[in-house]
């Protein structure tokens, strides 16, 4: 066994194996800590619009996939405006749909607040104007649990909020 200890190739291999084991252990512990910090909802809860846990709220946001082309007003150097057709890639359309679904989830969460109760459409207008408040941190820290394309023209995002809306 002395040849194993003094052989440089064996030392490199044993260091790589111990590094891989240590990396795997750290990854496992990190995932365990994430699972404890983010409790798993009951089976079937991922399909519910609202799901209240002890100290978390799970909300679904939905949106329509934008069309593959859009009209954009462009102002020329002469000051005249004209309409230009802009084509969107599937990746860009999906990103926009996901962003709108997240915003829809945020407006649902905000419509459950008690201190400044407003309809969801009002919150959508306020978020469109970049409104901020005491609740802003809750929206910024919301975690996306899942992202789904249910039909060819819709998308759905499942969000987990660490703040309870009735406290705002």
The band of 95, judged by pLDDT with boundaries at 50, 70 and 90, is very high
Better-scored residue on pLDDT, 24 or 161: 161
Cα 46 from Cα 145, distance rounded (Å): 9
Other beta carbons within 10 Å of 103: 18
Q: What is the DSSP string of 71-86?
A: EEEEE-TTS-EEEEEE
157/6 Cα distance (integer angstroms): 56
CB-based burial, 123-145: b 16+ in 10 Å, e otherwise: bbebbeeeeeeebeebbeebeee
Per-residue CA distances from 16 to 10, 12, 23, 30, 84 (Å):
10, 6, 10, 21, 57
Q: What is the SS3 assignment for 154?
A: strand
pLDDT tens by residue, 110-150:
998 888 888 999 999 999 999 998 899 999 999 999 899 88
> In b/e form, how buried is each residue of 60-92, taking b as 16+ CB within 10 angstroms?
bbbbebbeeeeeeeeeeeeeeeeeeeeebeeee
pTM of the model: 0.67
SS3 50: strand
The order of strands in the sheet holding 50-52 is: 50-52, 57-64, 154-161, 143-148
With bands split at pLDDT 50, 70 and 90, how would you rate the model's confidence at 18? low
Got the DSSP string for 20-33?
A: HHHHHHHHHHHHHH
What is the C-alpha R_g of the chain?
24
Mean confidence (pLDDT) of the chain: 79
Given this model, what pLDDT does residue 22 score?
Answer: 46
């Amino acid at each position: 066994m002395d040849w194993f200890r003094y052989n440089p190739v064996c030392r490199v291999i044993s260091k790589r194996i111990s590094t891989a084991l240590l990396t795997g252990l750290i990854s496992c512990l990190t995932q365990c800590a994430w699972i404890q910090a983010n409790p798993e909802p009951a089976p079937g809860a991922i399909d519910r619009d609202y799901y209240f846990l002890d100290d978390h709220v799970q909300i679904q946001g939905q949106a329509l996939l934008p069309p593959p082309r859009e009209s954009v007003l462009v102002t020329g150097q002469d000051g005249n405006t004209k309409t230009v057709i802009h084509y969107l890639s599937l990746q860009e359309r999906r990103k926009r749909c996901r962003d709108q679904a997240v915003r829809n989830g945020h407006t649902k969460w905000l419509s459950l607040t008690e201190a400044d109760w407003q309809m969801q459409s009002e919150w959508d207008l306020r978020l469109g104007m970049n409104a901020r408040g005491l609740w802003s941190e809750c929206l910024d820290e919301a975690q996306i649990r899942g992202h789904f394309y249910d039909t060819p023209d819709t998308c759905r995002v499942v969000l987990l909020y660490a703040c309870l809306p009735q406290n705002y």
